[in-house]
Structure 1
Amino acid sequence: MPVTFTRRNAKNNQMDTNDPAMNHLLSPQVYDLDQGNNGTFTLHLELDDNQLLDKELRAQLVDTFYVTPLQSTNDATLSVRVRNSSALDYEKLKQIKLRMIAKERTPSVGHSLRFNSAELIVTIKDANDNAPQFSQEIYYGSVSEVPIPGVMVAQVSATDIDDGIFGTDGIRYTSLRGDIAAALSLNPITGLITVKNDTDFKDSKNSVYFDREQHTQHFLIVEARDAAGFGNKNTVQLVINITDVNDQVPRFLQSSYTGRIYENQKRFEQDLILSAVDDDAPNTANSRIVYSIVNSSSPFVSHFNIDPNSGRITVAKPLDFEAIQGRIADSRNISFKVRVHDHGIPPLSSQVPVNIMVFDQNDNAPVFSKSLYTKSIPEDVRDGSMVVQVSATDADHSPANSRVYYRLLA
């Protein structure tokens, strides 16, 4: 009688790829009712030739399973076990077809070695052996330094090649860490990162989170876990750029500026250059500044120009010291203000006082009160007697240049 299996196939054998123990698979019984050596048979396993497997994977699976016992007489209950589970990868192969071969050890009289076979289908169960993988190595986001609560900052996305809750469907974004994480919300399902709705950004304590003038970038870590947030984890870096808002008023580097110039001159004694800075983002409209002279009631403002880009004040037309109202002194002052403003929307500006010290030049000659003085004196006039008194004035208005000295010329 030939060797015979009680069942020609065995299905629904499931194997956990994450179980390091020797997995036992349900297998049928085999029997040969011949007597003595004629009833002795050997057992072994083969991969089903009809299963489409690449060469490398087939080679890995050859020694994955083994059967016990290897030999029996009359009947045996087969036990198929796993020798090496490293080749069992659910993501590569979800089902394996094995063929159990029972072969007579000794041929019956008049017969060649007879054999029989049965199919064993092994279904691989998925194990949570893969961590979520983010779609990018680094994520970038941006937010205004004066953000609207609830506005989107960035969105991360991860996948997991495991199935079910161990796979992409079970991914939860579980943690957001970094210096501004307290001001952000992370949606555990979608990976969407937004500005918290409950943050009062008008409060000085919270406004520092997004102050671009303190930090232009922030580096955070986003964590994702599978198994509904309780399984394997992975992290990714999130870089948030803070976009500028025109919230910085241009400021002059000095509280006031002073220039010195002599009348009739077209250059200051030293260059008069005003300097201002704007702490908003460099090379943007918010930080690009322009200088201008503020309209003033002083009639002398028109004597000056200012370069709108450099802040350098130059003389448009020379000054006349004597035309400037004031007491007799070495210098007289002209005061006005300069404004600096940026190109933001709306533009912000500030002003600074400028004082010009104008010094007198000796540009006026003394003038006698008469063009001719005449006087008759007797021939016997006494020595030291007064003959005539002359008078002259000088139009210069400084003490040194307006003082008049007299002498006689032969």
Structure 2
Amino acid sequence: MKRQVRLLIFLLSLDFVLGQVSYSIPEEMAKGSLVGNIAHDLGFQIKRLTAGKARIFSPDSEEYVELNRDRGVLLVKERIDREALCKKTTPCALHFQIILENPMEFYSVTVQITDINDNPPVFQKSTKEFKISESAVIGATFVLERAADQDVGINDLKSYSLKPTDNFALKLHNNAEGNTNVEMVLQKALDREKQEQINLVLTAVDGGEQQMSGTMQIVITVLDANDNAPVFTQKTYKATVTENSLKGTVVAEIAASDADQGSNSKITYSITNTLDDVGKIFEVNEKSGKVVLVENLDYEESRNYQIHLLASDEGGLTDSCKLIVDVQDMNDNNPEIKIMSKSTVISEEAKLNTVVTMISIKDKDSGQNGNVKCFVNENIPFILTSSTNNFYSLVTDSELDRERASEYNITVSCSDEGVPSLSSSVTLTLQISDVNDNAPVFDRSLYETYIVENNTPGLSIFTVKATDADWKQNARVSY
């Protein structure tokens, strides 16, 4: 197993250090496997991790990695399935922070999950049926379903083969999205009287070191006389829809025509996507060609969809087109405020710019809707400072005096720039601990009294009183 480590350290103006470490591990490693020696890579002694109560902070709470403070290493906490974690997204990585205290510090850690060839190519259907006229011309093309392979890179799907090749040849070509369109091309005329049914096998093979494959049976029923295929009015349609659109919204309407007559000109529309969830989110009316929204959209999950559509006549001839649907963002996510580390008590003699609390901010929206600004309530000796994007520190801004205020309720409010703006807030309670910074004070600077002669010894003459503005032991006065 090869592990790649990258270390970057930046010194900030505040009283903590921000660093970044990157590791690379393969998926499916056993629980307890070593991810990296974090103490060594950050230049720490192990006792710093234990004394600083080092811990992992993950904004998304996806803790696949755990910190062993006694050994100073990161270990696999749960088996990591790259496909479940990131699907087709590359690179696939876990992001979290290492938090220490006394003094407060945090370090960003990235663990990249590399792919292994643990998934074969899979066709959505085990059998594909065609009805093709014996009058179909040489060179006629028929769209086949693509296979889906959850792996990425070299382990992804690499090639197809079609057997036998007596009547049909396989045609592959890359589209503008980088996917491979799979078609079979008629290379020898059909004769229903000689062969009414043809059985083919389409095989998809990946590029892993130990290759894996999947197959689909193609059953062709040869029909009489349908010599015109449907033709779409456009090869590419475009539409825009907002993410808060209701189910049942008509997104677009596609149309194809067929020069044949009678039943051979009757067109049926269908969606052919097999590699994604498009078929669960959109439906097409098989008669009218209207594409309808059947599930809620979320711009934060997907900003656009490419819907592959097929027009088929009853003779088995087809044409294909593509509908590109762009999803418009709405300001539907409040800023998320997460406390990375905080103090509940601070001394009244704390220096300026002492870090009290570290905060992580996240807004799932994009553009202006995802731009967040944070502030605290006025007339308090604390301010928010931003060390990096999405991270804030609450620091002291002026001298503290427990005798003036022994406790502060600090409200951190964060608002995005959407219209209307969405906001979130959190209230922190901070106690000010006492130091002995006040001397006792008599209630009078001069006392005057008169004594009658012949008093009994031990008789009280008068009483003096002094008070101290400090607290508890610091406020006890002796005379």
TM superposition score category, shorter chain reference: 0.3 to 0.5
Structure with the greater alpha carbon radius of gyration: 1
Q: Which has the higher strand share?
A: 2
Q: TM-score, normalised by structure 2?
A: 0.41
Higher relative contact order (CA 8 A, sep 6+): 1
